[in-house]
Amino acid sequence: MYTEEEIKKAAKDIVGAEKIVALTGAGISTESGIPDFRGTDGLWTKYDPDDFTYSKFLQDPAKYWKMSLELGELLLSLEPKPNLAHLALARLEELGKLRCVITQNVDGLHQVAGNTEVIEFHGNLRRVVCIACGERFPHDLAMEKASNGELPPRCDKCKGILKPDAVLFEEPIPRYALDRSLEEARNCDLMIVVGTSAVVYPAAELPRIAKERDGYHASFFGLYQPRRVMDYKKGAKVIEINAEPTPLTGIVSDYLIEGKAGEILPKILKEVERLLGF
Ligand code: APR
């Protein structure tokens, strides 16, 4: 459980940093009612992640849509709203104390909360994409087609099959998101990692890249480029805010503030505003 000293320390680190980046995972949305994947009662305790691979989608897109209709109904029926953790990150951006949020989440809640610089590392469930021509449409359009029995829903433009615009296992990370996230991780002086189990790559590599500030970490690109010595600068500070320790804890992150993001982030924000004289 976290302490007031940890809250004060994080606030001081934020005020003292110039280029701050947040990396978020499903744990920041659980207080909005959206289950995470690997926490207790996570989605992977109810669904088999192997069913959410790109090859499974191609084998039987209709079955995928039936499953995602069910899951989509569940999630969208919750009409998830940003919680205090999302709102705290949006306020940090307003204060000029957050350059961007790199999120693994596909719920779009950071944008709803007010963050304008959001890198969607795993895409966004509120859109669908045609796997033939690449055209994108709002998710509701596809859900309407699917609930009217058009399974799988097809593209209005070319009749290709529509797929939720969230990155499935086996799919590559969108190039823009990959490049931009690497750039931000390499250049930040503080990374706040919130609500992620840090077990899915390459997202989980970003805190290490921030820490080591080498940017060419072999496992990120699956290749090794020699580190240019003059590029090697002191690494960023990495703060973890999570309900439990992760593989980053004590190795990559400087410290873990253990507990609920919806409680911890607003307290840190309040202390940051006090230090900034608000
Ligand atoms: N506050 C802080 N941490 C929380 C909270 C909370 N309210 N609720 C849950 N957590 C923690 C959990 O303890 C867990 O460590 O958040 C973490 C969520 O981890 P995962 O469920 O694995 O989610 P994530 O890390 O985002 O998964 C990464 O895996 O399945 C894929 O594509 C999917 O983007 C996802 C990726």
Quote the strand ranges of the chain, DSSP E.
20-24, 100-103, 118-120, 123-130, 136-138, 162-166, 190-194, 237-242, 255-258
Q: What is the pTM of this model?
A: 0.91
**Ligand 1 midpoint to CA 133 (Å):** 33
Which one of 110, 122, 139, 217 is the catalytic residue? Answer: 122
* CATH number given to 1-33+82-122+173-278: 3.40.50.1220
User: Which residue CA neighbors atom 14 of ligand 1 most closely?
Assistant: 197
How far does residue 244's CA lie from ligand 1's centre (Å)? 10
Task: Dump pLDDT digits (tens) for 146-192.
Answer: 889 899 999 999 999 999 899 999 999 999 999 999 999 999 999 99
| Cis geometry, peptide bond prior to residue 152 (ω within 30 degrees of 0) | yes
CB–CB of 203/105 below 8 Å? no
- Identify the burial level of 204 via C-beta atoms within 10 angstroms of its C-beta, where 0-12 means exposed, 13-18 middle and 19 or more buried: buried
The rounded Å distance from CA 262 to ligand 1 centre is 14
Alpha helices in 192-231 (DSSP H): 206-212, 218-221
Which pLDDT tens digit goes with each residue over 236-248?
Answer: 999 999 999 999 9
Residue to probe by mutation, ligand 1, list 109, 171, 200, most atoms within 8 Å of CB: 200
Mutate to test the pocket of ligand 1, among 193, 196, 199, 256 (most ligand atoms within 8 A of CB): 196
In this predicted structure, the answer to whether residue 229 has a pLDDT above a threshold of 70 is no
Q: For ligand 1, atom 30, name the residue with the nearest CA.
A: 37
Phi, psi dihedral angles at 272 (to 5 degrees): -60, -45
Q: Is 139 a catalytic residue?
A: no
Mean pLDDT of 230-257: 88
From the CA of 31, give the closest atom in ligand 1: 7
Which superfamily is assigned to 35-77+124-166 in CATH?
SIR2/SIRT2 'Small Domain' (3.30.1600.10)
pLDDT of 216 > 60? The answer is no
- Dig out the tokens for 269 from the structure: 């924000």
Query: Ligand 1: which of 23, 38, 46, 87 to mutate, judged by most atoms within 8 Å of the beta carbon?
Result: 38
Express the helix, strand and coil content of the chain in percent, nearest 5 each. Answer: 45, 20, 40
**Does residue 41 carry a pLDDT above 70?**
yes
Tell me the two tokens of residue 241.
């805010």
- Going from N- to C-terminal start, the domains of the chain cover 1-33+82-122+173-278, 35-77+124-166
**What pLDDT, on a 0 to 100 scale, did the predictor assign at position 224?**
45
Mean pLDDT across the chain: 90
Nearest Cα residue to atom 36 of ligand 1: 200
